[in-house]
Amino acid sequence: MANQRLIYGFHALNVRLWQNPKSITGLYIQEGRQDARTREVLEKAAAENVPVHFADAARLAAIAKGARHQGVAGFIDASKNHVHLEDVLENLREPALLLVLDGITDPHNLGACLRTADAMGVHAVIAPKDKSAGLNATVSKVACGAAETVPYITVTNLARTLRELKEYGIWVIGTDMGGETDLYHAKLPESIAWVMGSEGAGMRRLTREHCDMLVSVPMFGTVESMNVSVTAGMVLGETRRQRMLNAG
């Protein structure tokens, strides 16, 4: 199956079982396991008519390609998880909060960003199809279930997508050390798409040119940069803080 994708670990599989069980084409459980988490997975799989296969440790390790699978792995039909950006934007019940990742190629960074996005109530994470880490088993494991709950939308032309966001009244704000203001002095607009570049190269030139504002994150120590997921947590947390203050 062209759209088949591996996931493993209890967090990723449990979220998938509860959120989108019909997308699971098969579960593999390490034979002999009797712990509570395994029983919970088996009971939910049976209730949702998800095919379950038992495998010995060697076979399960091969299925999970040597990753720390915790005794559970599965395959999903990724085509049943596809979400369009327009669907997200047209069904919002609050001002948009989006995270745009430009040039994030490390699956661990992507997984951590998705986990942060879920914690901060981000409505969707957007990334270009090229030069970006796609969803895979490593991303799902690091995201601890967030890869199954936060829409991850890949687009062929990021610059055009940023222009479309503006048509919805969403401000496109990039993070950059040379920003015209810093995070703690910026008066943030209601609807925001935060744009993050890679730790080394930052945003691409065309992406930067489509930003309405550039905001820096103050550094008070000796390090010169932070991991993208840490920066995402800081700007998203400040966004939520300002929204709560504005709401009284």
Burial label for 2, CB within 10 Å (0-12, 13-18, 19+), is exposed
Residues in the annotated binding site for S-adenosyl-L-methionine = 197, 226
With bands split at pLDDT 50, 70 and 90, how would you rate the model's confidence at 138? confident
Please compute Rg for the chain using Cα positions: 20
Domain boundaries, the chain: 4-77, 85-247
How many whole angstroms separate alpha carbon 209 and alpha carbon 8? 39
Could you tell me how far CA 32 lies from the centroid of its own chain?
A: 33
pTM: 0.75
Share of residues in the chain with pLDDT > 90 (%): 56
pLDDT band at 79; cut points 50, 70, 90? low
Residue ranges for the known binding site are: 197, 226
The residue with greater pLDDT, 78 or 94, is 94
Identify the CATH number of the domain defined by range 85-247: 3.40.1280.10
Q: In the structure, what pLDDT confidence band is assigned to residue 82 with cuts at 50, 70 and 90? A: low
Compute the distance between CA of residue 137 and CA of residue 140 in angstroms, rounded to an integer.
Answer: 5
The overall average pLDDT reported for the chain is 89
- In tens, the pLDDT along 10-51 reads 888 887 888 788 888 999 999 988 899 999 999 999 999 999
CATH code for the structural domain at 4-77: 3.30.1330.30
In Å, what is the CA distance from 206 to each residue of 129, 197, 232? 16, 12, 21
Residue 93 binned pLDDT confidence (cut-offs 50, 70, 90): confident
The average pLDDT across 73-86 equals 77
Q: What is the pLDDT of residues 190-237, one digit of tens each?
A: 999 999 998 777 899 999 999 999 999 998 888 877 889 999 999 999
pLDDT of 1 strictly over 50 = no
In this structure, what is the dihedral angle of CA atoms 33, 36, 39, 45, given to the nearest 10 degrees?
Answer: -120
Residue 144 pLDDT grade (very low, low, confident, very high; cuts 50, 70, 90): confident
